[in-house]
């Protein structure tokens, strides 16, 4: 479980593409400071497991199976790609964002960026199959970053979209700060909405 509060920007330093999987080595000084084999680290919002028996220096290695590659933007990462990193939440820490599982529900595309003096509004396409779980002023995770939905819209012709307003800290400390229009991002909706839907279906 994660909170969606990105701890640092990491960098992909090695990629091994396999038949139905990939192995990534990622540099992240903070998240490797106490990392060990089997630990969970969110990489752009995807919960991945450290596979090294010993974490070497400031880098760790993860295996990514085909299911994850097909459902997220992880498969498009290459050497030099910047990624958002967060260690699993500790039970004795504050929940600064919201409950994030690291299970990507779908991907969206950055449609537009509208800068203001003190923040920037980013519009992202919203897949139809998860649009029903997103509400204005609710939470959504974009590439592992917990954000508040500041606007919703769309049309039958153009599809659904949502907007988030990014403060300077988010712009500076996450990949969203430099993601241009056309960038694919991982989306995770609030899991509580999915549980409520399931309970209603079973009732």
Q: Which CATH architecture has domain 8-87?
A: Beta Barrel (2.40)
Provide the pLDDT for residue 145: 96
Provide the pLDDT for residue 53: 67
> Which CATH class name applies to 106-202?
mainly beta
Domain ranges of the chain: 8-87, 106-202
CA–CA distance, 36 with 191 (Å, rounded to integer): 28
Provide the pLDDT for residue 156: 79
What predicted TM-score, i.e. pTM, was given to this entire model? 0.91
- Report strand pairing: 184-189 vs 106-115: antiparallel
Mean pLDDT by runs of 10 across the 203 residues of the chain is: 93 94 95 92 96 80 95 95 94 75 94 93 96 94 96 88 96 95 96 82 73
Decide if 8-87 and 106-202 have a common fold: yes
46-49 sheet: strands from edge to edge: 46-49, 40-43, 82-87, 8-17, 21-27, 59-65
């Amino acid at each position: 479980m994660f909170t969606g509060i990105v701890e640092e920007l990491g960098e992909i330093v090695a990629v091994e593409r396999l038949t139905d999987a990939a192995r990534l080595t990622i540099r992240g000084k903070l998240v490797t400071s106490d990392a060990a084999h089997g630990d969970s680290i969110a990489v752009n919002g995807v919960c991945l497991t450290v596979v090294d028996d010993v974490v070497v220096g400031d880098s760790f290695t993860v295996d990514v199976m085909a299911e994850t590659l097909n459902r997220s933007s992880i498969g498009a990462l290459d050497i030099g790609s910047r990624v958002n990193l967060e260690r699993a939440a500790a039970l004795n820490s504050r929940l600064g964002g919201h409950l994030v599982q690291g299970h990507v529900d779908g991907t969206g595309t950055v449609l537009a960026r509208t800068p203001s003096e003190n923040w920037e509004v980013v519009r992202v396409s919203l897949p139809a199959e998860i649009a029903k779980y997103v509400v204005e002023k609710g939470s959504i995770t974009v590439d592992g970053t917990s954000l508040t939905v500041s606007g919703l819209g769309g049309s039958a012709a153009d599809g659904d979209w949502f907007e988030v307003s990014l403060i300077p800290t988010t712009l500076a400390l996450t990949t969203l700060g430099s993601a241009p229009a056309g960038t694919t991002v991982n989306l995770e909706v609030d899991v509580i909405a999915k549980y409520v839907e399931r309970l209603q279906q079973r009732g």
